[in-house]
Amino acid sequence: MIVVVCLNPALDVTHQLDAVGWGEVNRPRAVHARPGGKGLNVARTLHALGADVLVLGLAGGITGAGVEAALRELGVPTAFTPVTGETRRTFSIVDDSRVTAFHEAGPEVGAAEFAEFCTDYQKAAAEAQAVVLSGSLPPGLPAGTYATLIQTAGIPVVLDTHGEALRRGAAAGPAVVKPNLAELAALAGRPLTARRGAELAAVAAGELGRAGAVVVTLGPQGLLAATGDGRWRVRMPAAVAGNATGAGDAVTAALAHGIVAGRPWHERLRHAVALGAATAAAPVAGEFRPQDYLDALRAVMVEEVR
Amino acid sequence: MIVVVCLNPALDVTHQLDAVGWGEVNRPRAVHARPGGKGLNVARTLHALGADVLVLGLAGGITGAGVEAALRELGVPTAFTPVTGETRRTFSIVDDSRVTAFHEAGPEVGAAEFAEFCTDYQKAAAEAQAVVLSGSLPPGLPAGTYATLIQTAGIPVVLDTHGEALRRGAAAGPAVVKPNLAELAALAGRPLTARRGAELAAVAAGELGRAGAVVVTLGPQGLLAATGDGRWRVRMPAAVAGNATGAGDAVTAALAHGIVAGRPWHERLRHAVALGAATAAAPVAGEFRPQDYLDALRAVMVEEVR
């Protein structure tokens, strides 16, 4: 079983309109709503891969109940720890010319609530083969939260977050950290480019070297990995455009899946880039066409970086 | 038991911001969400009055599950008929200068789903003393829907809706219809004023005379009632400002409550205006302070209109 931790899940609501009357009552022409947040994308991808997955995290209020119901409907098992605050929504208003988004912050999490989550987490980890920690922390939880969860897991952890939570999480020794290029550049405090593989690998090792491996996603240019078994640059033959958020979450899912399947590193990375490419091509994060995945697997290019 | 039918319930979400950046990601300073729709306000008021109430209606998707969960938390019993569509949200952006609202239409209801609701409705009505039909119809249901529900109830029905659904509903002979002044004026096809009680009562009787009684709410000026027992003008000594929607729904609740309690008409109306005034003074529709209600009951003025 793979435990996916989503401490700040969301319900993503999109309203499409031809034009918006500000200060008026508008009636959207189309409405979409789905469970959001990076962890939930990872969980949906793992479920689609046939992995035994369990989503843990914090959920509360009307939206928390709604997110749980929607995941149940998608067949993704959940065991959220209840909180008194309200799980966040994101509202995106899409008109002819632009997208205006309203992002709620998520519930303020109390110490007792987080302690209860930790109990649930340790019970689940005791029966799991790997853990994924993904996304930002909700208000009220300290930047060292992921580090604590990594230290108490007792099994391999894949960490996908940013900023201080990433820096402190990496120092706690997870199996894999998966920043994207912008997140690594923010940690390094200087701009980075996807082209210089050896330099990038050195920066990754320097900033996040206490992690077992660092996988830097490069958007359409694939990824770069610095692992104990070697360094690789992995990409599709042609740049893949599409949903970058969804693609990054698919890479995280594939890395956890590769650990549990016992694949060697270069095979994990091949699957990760193929799944990312197939997911980028799908309209909705967390979804992919199996045929796209299989086609991409045959096309992926894996090269060692020295 | 009083059955409250809410065919198109909603979740009302409000985001408060100092200023909105159109085309950007905004982070609201405060977020409120609550079950909305007129029927749910009526049900919450009846529950607060200590009445035995059951909410029926159509609910679906993430939002439907959320509305049910929130009502459960408020202690209001529900038995919604499930639909495959998604229950609607209303989303209001409140900034310094204005309110911009986005109202979803609600789920398209299929014929089989509505037939299932009718079975649930007839079962519940067989054990109830009164029915409240409140609010607009969801997409896909014909304007005669409330008329059908009135004909099959077998017990007194209070109807609060507008337009063709009101006209056809009234013709089916409910115990009470409760338009507001604007809704009655729309039916009559000409402007009406709250001042001319006798004229208003005549218009109400003319437009909606197949109903057992017509109660026209006049906002801060109370109400006018044309019943089989007489015609009354009922109001507070001073005009009451505040939440007009909530006040109208409180009047509907009090009228149903008065039927079940076996109160004579002038007493029903006294309670209705007092409860409306107490609810208008509360910040949230469906809520009132008991002391405000008792104070208002002592102050209400009831006069016969000839």
Report the complex ipTM: 0.73
Amino acid at A67: V
The CATH number given to whatever domain includes residue B47 is 3.40.1190.20
- Give the model's pLDDT for residue B23: 86
Report the C-alpha gap between B277 and B287 in whole angstroms.
11
Grouping H, G, I as helix, E, B as strand and the rest as coil, residue B245 is: helix
Pairing of strands A10-16, A2-6: unpaired
Q: What contacts 24+ positions apart, CB below 8 Å, involve A149-156? A: A149/A5, A149/A118, A149/A121, A150/A174, A152/A118, A152/A121, A152/A122, A152/A125, A153/A125, A154/A125, A154/A126, A155/A125, A155/A128, A155/A129, A155/A130, A155/A131, A156/A129, A156/A130, A156/A131, A156/A212, A156/A259
Those residues of chain A that have pLDDT short of 50 are none
Report the DSSP beta bridge partners of residue A14.
A32, A92
Q: Which residues of chain B have pLDDT under 70?
A: none
* Structural domain count, chain B: 1
State pLDDT tens for residues B107-160.
999 999 999 999 999 999 999 999 999 999 998 899 999 999 999 999 999 999
Nearest CA in chain A to B97: A23
Confidence (pLDDT) at B99: 83
Q: How far apart are the C-alpha atoms of A177 and A255, rounded to whole Å? A: 10
- Domain presence at residue A67: yes
CB proximity B95 to A under 8 Å: no
Catalytic, B292? Answer no
Q: Is residue A80 in some structural domain?
A: yes
Residue reference for tokens 């993904």:
A134
Q: Quick one: pLDDT at residue B32? A: 84
* Helix/strand/coil percentages in chain B, nearest 5: 40, 25, 35
- Looking at residue A265, its pLDDT comes to 96
Does residue A33 lie in a domain region? yes
Q: How far is A172 from A211, CA to CA, in rounded Å?
A: 7
What's the gap in Å between the CA of A131 and the closest CA on chain B? 27
**Global pTM?**
0.74
- CB-nearest to A100 from B23, B66, B101 is B23
Q: Per the domain annotation, does A101 fall within a domain? A: yes
Task: Please say whether the dihedral angle defined by the alpha carbons of residues B177, B181, B182 and B185, taken in this order, is positive or negative.
Answer: positive
DSSP annotation of B221 reads G
- The residue annotated as part of the active site, out of B52, B249, B292, B295, is B249
CA distance A164 to A168: 6
For residue A24, being part of any structural domain is answered with: no
Range of the domain at A132: 2-19+29-304
Q: How confident is the model over B219-236, as pLDDT tens digits?
A: 889 999 999 999 999 999
- Min Cα distance B115 → chain A (Å) is 24
- Can you read off the two tokens belonging to residue B261? 């309690």
Q: Would you tell me how many other CB atoms lie within 10 Å of the CB of residue B41?
A: 30
Across B187-213, b (16+ Cβ under 10 Å) vs e yields: beeeebebeebeebbebbeebbeebbb
